[in-house]
Chain A
Amino acid sequence: MEFKNRVFGCAVVKAVNSNYNADFSGQPRTLPDGTVYATDKAYKYTVKNFFKAVYPKETIFYFKSLNENMNPISLDETYVKYFGEYPKDKKTIKQVVAGKLLSCLDIRLFGATFAGKSINISVHGPVQINHGVNIWHENNIYSEQITSPFSNKSNDPEAERGMTTIGRQSKLQEGHYLHHFSINPGTLSEIKTLAGEEAKAVSSEDISKLRAAMRQGATFYDSAAKAGTDNEILFWVQLNDGSKLILPAFTDLVKALPEKQDGKTVFDFEKVSELLSGFRSEIETTELYINGQSATAINLPVGCTTLPLFGNNGEEA
């Protein structure tokens, strides 16, 4: 079934003694005032990585894949890998390639800038994720020195090999990154017209998969730097079919209280509730997925359903 509703919401990613998204010095990214933030790419990576592992039948186009020499393959090579050679007919090439692109789950959701050798297509994705800003009251970044087990003088056979290499790693003591997001399935209408009748639109099933990945992707992805980075909240406001309402970003509206309660972080939704109370006739459902072990939410909007963050929740096929 085609998914037509507009959605606004936010996802909170918790990082404790972890480095969710580093800059080029290896430290967590910071704004000029010291606030820690993460790019939308960091979050999208966790979502696509989840798709790739959990839904192996879905094609995830914009994801690094390597050739036999362990080098990343190019855009054209990736196209050929999934869909075979480009069509020869110049008249229909755009239509065919557009249709193929729309058959990929990640492109249906996040869009694509496809600049191939023989064709350029741009797809504006329905799902738009904003930069994540730390809403926790502290931004404590610390660095530690680490040693490698290997000599630092291996290039010089004469040298005394008494030392091993020293490196550093930086982590954030505690952070709660809030990514605002929106979904507007209407953005695909133009490319769908181009791709023709059979082209896939965003379906309810796609949205279920997206929601599962947005709930669990960061926890699912464990690397040395990202151990300790977990999903914490997914807040989902689904508007009525046909509603064209625009809502502000929730970044400044959801507050993480500085005092924890029973070791749980408290998220205050008071301002969100205030905002949504003005648009009750436009809203179909409000859902909060929360990791009840580490967080609680207060002042939730009227009619908001609270569900566990992890697990199936009965939504996936």
Chain B
Amino acid sequence: MKTVISFDLYADMGFLKKPDINEKIYLTYNMLHKPCVLGILGAIAGLKGFTKNNEFPEYYTKLKDIPVGIKPIGKGCERGNFTKNVTTYTNTIGFANTDGNLIVSEQTLIHPAYRIFLSLDLGKEDEQILYDHIRQQEAVFIPYLGKNDYSAWWSKEDVKDENDNVLIQGVKEYDILQDDFNYDYKVETVFIKQKAVVESLVDENDDDDFSDNFQISDFGTYVYFEKLPTKYNEELYQYDYADFSLTDSRLKAGSLPPETLLHLQEKKSKQEFVVQLN
């Protein structure tokens, strides 16, 4: 049986390392991405991590097919962006280098928080364990956001203030509604943009049907872009990437392939929205 759940992951700080720079300064992705989510899920389920070179860890081989959707949330999130700070460390112990003190600068996310949507197949043992642990706010290993100095957590139930405003949303479950997406819609999560926007503007005169890109029908306040890892390339042992977007604008019908979209309805509040799981 397939079920869709969401949980809100919080941390005081986070560091989601970009592998493309390894000197002077280490940079972070702004958005949580699927390979990182899978690691966090592995910690929750208690699966083994990386142990050997050229061998994918237990968590990755078992969980990689779970469709994942991500939405940035929380007080640190401004139009999809989190504030970042550069922290500089020294390592004077002398273990990491031989020619004096090692100095490392690291870009850090401040107050990162993400709503993570998962489509779980409860017929599979690992996904059933994951489902139980997430709903009970339990994890075999304590999850963290990129570095173990930044522990991460979620809440199983809504945390409210005295005026009944929800401060932290708990774990939610959703029904999937039948939908062919032949109308203009908003997408709550980050989604894969198939083609550069500039190209589609040029193509407009060529009577293109724009089936491989999104078009905005109703402008909101922002459109956010980031190139993010989608999975590991299992031959090259490196990330495979896609261009992701996030917007509060309404997209024209047919902007995104309908098979990647889900029309969800929260089981209790009956609230409906559209997400993309990848």
Interface residues of A, Cβ cutoff 8 Å to B: 6, 23-24, 29, 31-33, 39-41, 62-64, 71-75, 78, 111, 115, 124-125, 128-131, 133, 180, 182, 184, 186-187, 190, 243-249, 251-252, 278
Tell me whether A128 and B92 are in contact (CB under 8 A). Answer: no
Size bracket of the B interface = 35 or more
Q: List 13 A-B contacts (CB under 8 A).
A: A32-B83, A32-B84, A32-B85, A40-B149, A71-B94, A73-B94, A115-B96, A186-B141, A244-B136, A244-B139, A245-B137, A247-B153, A248-B155
Residue B194, interface by CB 8 Å: no
Interface residues of B, Cβ cutoff 8 Å to A: 10-13, 48-49, 51, 83-85, 87-89, 92-96, 98, 110, 133, 136-144, 148-151, 153-155, 157
B210 CB → nearest A CB, Å: 39
Complex CA distance for A37 and B84, rounded to whole angstroms? 14
Complex CA distance for A186 and B49, rounded to whole angstroms? 14
Tell me whether A249 and B149 are in contact (CB under 8 A). Answer: no
B13 CB → nearest A CB, Å: 6
Closest to B49 in A: A124
B80 CB → nearest A CB, Å: 17
| Among B10, B87, B94: residue with most chain A CB under 10 A | B94
The residues of A that contact B96 with a CB separation of less than 8 Å are: 75, 115
Provided the pairs A39-B87, A64-B93 are in contact, do residues A184 and B141 lie with their beta carbons within 8 angstroms?
yes
Tell me whether A249 and B98 are in contact (CB under 8 A). Answer: no
Tell me whether B94 and A74 are in contact (CB under 8 A). Answer: yes
Sample of 17 more A-B contacts, CB < 8 Å, known A64-B92, A190-B51, A244-B138? A6-B142, A23-B88, A31-B85, A33-B83, A39-B87, A40-B149, A72-B92, A74-B95, A115-B95, A124-B49, A128-B142, A128-B149, A131-B13, A184-B142, A186-B140, A187-B141, A244-B140
B262 CB → nearest A CB, Å: 27
Tell me whether A62 and B149 are in contact (CB under 8 A). Answer: no
Tell me whether A72 and B94 are in contact (CB under 8 A). Answer: yes
Query: Which residue of the partner chain, among A63, A128, A252, contacts B148 with CB atoms under 8 Å?
Result: A128
Provided the pairs A31-B85, A72-B94 are in contact, do residues A246 and B149 lie with their beta carbons within 8 angstroms?
no
Tell me whether A246 and B95 are in contact (CB under 8 A). Answer: no
B83 CB → nearest A CB, Å: 5
The 7 closest A-B pairs by CB, nearest first: A72-B94, A75-B95, A244-B138, A248-B153, A40-B149, A128-B148, A64-B93
The residues of B that contact A75 with a CB separation of less than 8 Å are: 94-96
The residues of B that contact A128 with a CB separation of less than 8 Å are: 142, 144, 148-149, 151
Complex CA distance for A73 and B96, rounded to whole angstroms? 11
A139 CB → nearest B CB, Å: 14
Query: Which residue of the partner chain, among A63, A64, A115, A249, contacts B11 with CB atoms under 8 Å?
Result: A249
Tell me whether A180 and B149 are in contact (CB under 8 A). Answer: no
A301 CB → nearest B CB, Å: 16
A50 CB → nearest B CB, Å: 17
Tell me whether B94 and A39 are in contact (CB under 8 A). Answer: no
Complex CA distance for A130 and B150, rounded to whole angstroms? 6
The residues of B that contact A247 with a CB separation of less than 8 Å are: 153
The residues of A that contact B13 with a CB separation of less than 8 Å are: 130-131
Tell me whether A246 and B92 are in contact (CB under 8 A). Answer: no
